[in-house]
Amino acid sequence: MAMQYSQQHQCHQQWATRIDTPTAMQETMYADTDRSGGMNRQELDNHVNNLRSQYFMEMMTDPQRAAQTRQKLETMETIGQNFDKLSGAAGGWFDQEISTEDLLKAAHQDGDPFSISDSDLQALPGFPQFPQPMPTPWSPPTGGPQPTPWQPQPWQPAPTPQPWLPPTGGPQPMPWPPLPSPQPAPWQPMPWPQPTPQDSTIQTMEALFTTLEADTDRSGGMSRQELDQQIQKIKSELETPYHYIDSSTYSDRADKQKKLKMLETIKQNFDKLAHAANGSRELLDNEISYQDLWMAARHDGNIYDISQQDLDALPGGWTPIPVPEPTPVPTPEPEVVAVNERARIWGDPHIIGGDGGKYDVQDRGIYNLLDDNGLTVNAEFGPWKNDTTVVTKLGITVGNDQIEIDADGNVKINSQKSTMSDLIQLSEEKGWELEQSDDKIIIKTDEYTLEIELTGRGFMNMNIVTGEEGVKSDGVGPEGILGETFDADSDAQTGLKQDINDYKRDSLF
């Protein structure tokens, strides 16, 4: 039920009749609970009742804040007394609602856009403005000469058209060449619209609505954190792919890009805008309020946007307290571990660790010998004479390349049968060193040297030697049957650190 502003609210008649435009716009946007762009009578009634309850509660708890609430209540009740005039002030945008455009139009009647005075209200027409008169029914004129009654004319057949004949004699006209069939233009995807240079201007109304949306804590202003959240929200929406694209999709994307540009401009000038009201109201210095935006927009005479001229006219704003730079944490020097150590696997097979420890591993299968950053060595333990176990194949992964070498010296590179010449060429292309002789293949990387011994008796031996910088120059330590012996201590390891099955692999690569 619409609120009746009658004698039961006599006390309200004694309150202010001048409506503060920024306050009216702010409260109108708060009252617009259905986000229709305007405030209807029911929304006005609900908002006034809320303000009245808030006012009486604050009279008992916070009289200073109650005075501010009373000003808002006076403003909204004055709007209610002039609802019909104000709802039609913008020329019928919302005939049943009061929009921010209605309030701006009403405030401009006397030349002062910051308040709606009695003269503004008197200058507004009533609502509706133009009643439609009832049309007068038509009646035939009386007296004077009477029109001649219509008489049908006898029907006459139309003359038969004569066929056109070309002129005889003289030069004959050249025949018209056939028109070429139009070729359809190749399809080109519609480009995403890009913001134009004028998009850097901040539209005042758009900024007001955005500030209201961003003000999640209802403090009356938009903080830096709330502004950043709005910017991140729009960026996420722009990065989300569209499942269906039509003309409205492009329009929606263009609006979001324009809004993002406006928010980034506000962020670049946050300090100036946060102090635009210059302390004329009780405002938060670390937030941009509605009054800040209004005061910023008035410098060039056009309150509907905040142009570069408006921004240049604002003072530099406050100097924030400098945030001390964090003390840089020194990067620790890489740990020097296992420098110039040698580990060996040989025979059936015997292990000599990098720290000098000795033990045997006689299980059959494929096991990991070394696993480090950019280098992996796996070995196949197969049967030999007298039911012994030896190394029959090696699978070496250097970077992204897989090298397989068997006990007879046969080579495969990335599963392709290859020669030693191919292996030499690969090493030159990838930047690691390779040396080869009849019974030995040596592969050198940044941290390791692999010495592969071809015995010619159906099995292989191998030494793994560490470099001058040890095995943790890249911050990553090695693992595997031989790799785990390159540790920080000098104690001789006399057995595996883990169960043998923890080193087992399904294949060489």
Assign residue 221 a region (left: φ > 0; alpha: ψ between -120 and 50; beta: otherwise).
Answer: beta
pLDDT at 3: 44
CATH superfamily of 342-505: Mog1/PsbP, alpha/beta/alpha sandwich (3.40.1000.10)
| φ, ψ of residue 390 in degrees (nearest 5) | -135, 170
What is the pLDDT averaged over residues 186-202? 56
pLDDT at 160 over 80: no
pLDDT at 191: 55
pLDDT greater at residue 153 or residue 303? 303
Q: How confident is the model at residue 118 (pLDDT cuts 50, 70, 90)?
A: confident
pLDDT at 28 over 80: yes
Percent of the chain beyond pLDDT 70? Answer: 77
What is the pLDDT averaged over residues 384-394? 94
Length of the chain, in residues: 509
Task: Report pLDDT digits (tens) over 258-287.
Answer: 888 888 888 888 888 888 876 544 445 688
Q: Could you check whether the bond before residue 128 is cis, i.e. omega within 30 degrees of 0?
A: yes
pLDDT greater at residue 120 or residue 317? 120
* Spatial distance between the Cα atoms of 52 and 55, rounded to a whole number of angstroms: 5
Q: What is the H or E stretch that residue 204 is in? A: helix 204-214
pLDDT at 325: 75
Q: How confident is the model at residue 147 (pLDDT cuts 50, 70, 90)?
A: low
pLDDT at 237: 85
pLDDT greater at residue 380 or residue 87? 380
Distances (CA, A) of 357 to 142, 352, 494, 505: 135, 6, 5, 24
DSSP-derived secondary structure letter, 501 = G
Distances (CA, A) of 389 to 346, 349, 365, 379, 481: 11, 7, 10, 12, 16
* Spatial distance between the Cα atoms of 385 and 237, rounded to a whole number of angstroms: 70
pLDDT at 170: 61
Q: Coil, helix or strand for 401?
A: strand
pLDDT at 211: 83
Q: Coil, helix or strand for 393?
A: strand
Q: Coil, helix or strand for 482?
A: coil
Asked if residues 434 and 427 have their Cβ atoms less than 8 Å apart, the reply is yes
Asked if residues 329 and 441 have their Cβ atoms less than 8 Å apart, the reply is no
Domain boundaries for CATH 3.40.1000.10 within the chain: 342-505
pLDDT at 320: 44
Q: Given the DSSP bridges, would you call strands 389-398 and 375-383 parallel, antiparallel or unpaired?
A: antiparallel
66-70, 249-253, 259-263, 321-325: least confident range = 321-325
| φ, ψ of residue 421 in degrees (nearest 5) | -65, -40
How many other CB atoms sit within 10 Å of the CB of residue 285?
Answer: 13
DSSP-derived secondary structure letter, 492 = P
Say how far residue 68 (Cα) sits from the centre of its chain.
Answer: 39
pLDDT at 20: 86
Q: How confident is the model at residue 331 (pLDDT cuts 50, 70, 90)?
A: confident
Instruction: Find all residues with CB under 8 Å of 419, minimum gap 6, and list them.
Output: 411
pLDDT at 105 over 90: no
Asked if residues 356 and 494 have their Cβ atoms less than 8 Å apart, the reply is no
pLDDT at 353: 93
**Positions of E strands within 80-127:** 98-99, 115-116
Residue 354's closest CA among 479, 457, 253? 479
* Spatial distance between the Cα atoms of 396 and 448, rounded to a whole number of angstroms: 12
Task: Report pLDDT digits (tens) over 439-459.
Answer: 999 999 989 999 999 999 999
Dihedral, 293, 295, 296, 298 alpha carbons, nearest 10: 120
Name 464's bridge partners.
343, 450
Average pLDDT, the chain: 80
Single-letter amino acid, residue 292:
D
Tokens encoding 81: 């007394």
pLDDT at 408: 92
Distances (CA, A) of 71 to 27, 29, 77, 160: 11, 16, 10, 89
Distances (CA, A) of 269 to 97, 262, 298, 429: 34, 11, 16, 54
Cβ burial 238-247 (10 Å sphere, 16+ → b, else e): eeeeeeeeee
pLDDT at 393: 96
pLDDT at 193: 47
Residue 458's closest CA among 391, 387, 368, 381? 391
Q: How confident is the model at residue 249 (pLDDT cuts 50, 70, 90)?
A: low
What is the pLDDT averaged over residues 306-334? 70
Place of tokens 């142009």: 307
Instruction: Find all residues with CB under 8 Å of 390, minimum gap 6, and list them.
Output: 347, 348, 349, 381, 382, 383, 384, 407, 458, 459, 460
pLDDT at 438: 85
pLDDT at 129: 40
What is the pLDDT averaged over residues 113-126? 81
pLDDT at 136: 61
